[in-house]
Amino acid sequence: MTDGEHPATSPRKRTGSTSKSRWTNTSRSSPGYGVTGSHKRTIEAGYDRVADQYLSTKDPEDPLTLAALEDMSHVLPENAAVLDLGCGAGVPVTRWLARRGYAVTGVDVSARQLELARRYVPEATFIGSDMTELAFEPETFDAVVAFHSIIHVPRKEHPALLADIHRWLKPGGTFLAILTVTDFEGEDSNWEGWGAAMRWSHHDAETNRSMLRETGFELRYAEPRTNPGTGGSDETWLWVEARKPN
């Protein structure tokens, strides 16, 4: 998918166009719980439509993002192979990784996002795909990053996706991700007033930590951190750096 925030992370802090009347909540307590291919089609079409507006909200020098990337870089080899899941338009994450000299592969389901990414990060390799349908050889990457992207994958598919990531990493490899602190599944029919629907599906912080450990990751940190979201208000997310044991 692509790296996108949503109001469920910190709803009382949000401002802007999101209103309760537009939200469809398909949590476990709702008769609509359970998603199909329409969930992923909504995300693909949504980001195709709003890619340029979404890019305009990104801070290319976001201090939390750059600090997390810099911290991860200390354990990566020179010319490391890095997979960026949900790379979006490539700013700031893919571009930072490529400028550091890493061999970066970016993946996104949105054709428009990839068009922008190829423009802003021409030195990277890009793949148009649903991240749950990727097939890489075991131990291909030194690091996998996923910033605000797994939150769009139907949460029933999270354990299998984490197992794939673990398998794609080399022994000692690093997984750097922004996950969630809330349990939520739902849709905004007019995200940020941009004229497109968007969906999210994710678990709370402790469930995310448990899934990572059960997959075989060692957690270096998995802690809530707060920075500005797409609507300008602060949002709190679960920032994770995990390691595949040697």
Q: What is the predicted pLDDT for the residue at 229?
A: 80
The separation between the first and the last C-alpha atoms of the chain, rounded to the nearest angstrom, is 29
- What is the C-alpha separation between 145 and 140, in angstroms, rounded? 14
233 confidence band (pLDDT: 50, 70, 90): confident
| Range from 13-17, 52-56, 63-67, 69-73 carrying the lowest mean pLDDT | 13-17
Task: Look up tokens 């329409």; give the residue.
Answer: 38
Percent of the chain at pLDDT above 90?
80
50-69 mean pLDDT: 94
Of 3.40.50.2300, 3.40.50.150, 3.30.200.20, 3.30.360.10, which CATH number belongs to 21-243?
A: 3.40.50.150
Q: Apex CA 54: angle with CA 165 and CA 5, to 5°?
A: 50
Task: Look up tokens 């398909």; give the residue.
Answer: 26
CA distances from 110 to 33, 85, 129, 155, 170 (A): 25, 12, 8, 20, 28
Identify whether the C-beta of residue 81 lies closer than 8 Å to the C-beta of residue 102. Answer: yes
Average pLDDT, the chain: 88
Convert the pLDDT of each residue in 61-76 to its tens digit: 999 999 999 999 999 9
Convert the pLDDT of each residue in 82-119 to its tens digit: 999 999 999 999 999 999 999 999 999 999 999 999 99
Identify whether the C-beta of residue 239 lies closer than 8 Å to the C-beta of residue 226. Answer: no
Query: DSSP state, 133?
Result: G
* Domains in the chain: boundaries: 21-243
Q: What is the predicted pLDDT for the residue at 33?
A: 29
Identify whether the C-beta of residue 219 lies closer than 8 Å to the C-beta of residue 240. Answer: yes
Q: Give CA 191 to chain center in angstroms.
A: 17
Identify whether the C-beta of residue 27 lies closer than 8 Å to the C-beta of residue 186. Answer: yes
Token pair listed for 97: 């990784």
**Is pLDDT of 209 > 60?**
yes
Task: Look up tokens 């209103």; give the residue.
Answer: 19
Up-side HSE of residue 210: CA atoms within 13 Å toward CB?
A: 6
- Strand 184-188, strand 198-202: pairing: antiparallel
Q: What is the predicted pLDDT for the residue at 155?
A: 96
Q: What is the predicted pLDDT for the residue at 21?
A: 33
Task: Taking each helix axis as running N to C, give the angle between helix 37-56 and helix 111-120, from 0 to 180 degrees, rounded to the nearest 10.
Answer: 40
Convert the pLDDT of each residue in 141-190 to its tens digit: 999 999 999 999 999 999 999 999 999 999 999 999 999 999 999 999 99
Cβ-based neighbours of 162, under 8 Å, separated by 6 or more? 211, 212, 215, 217
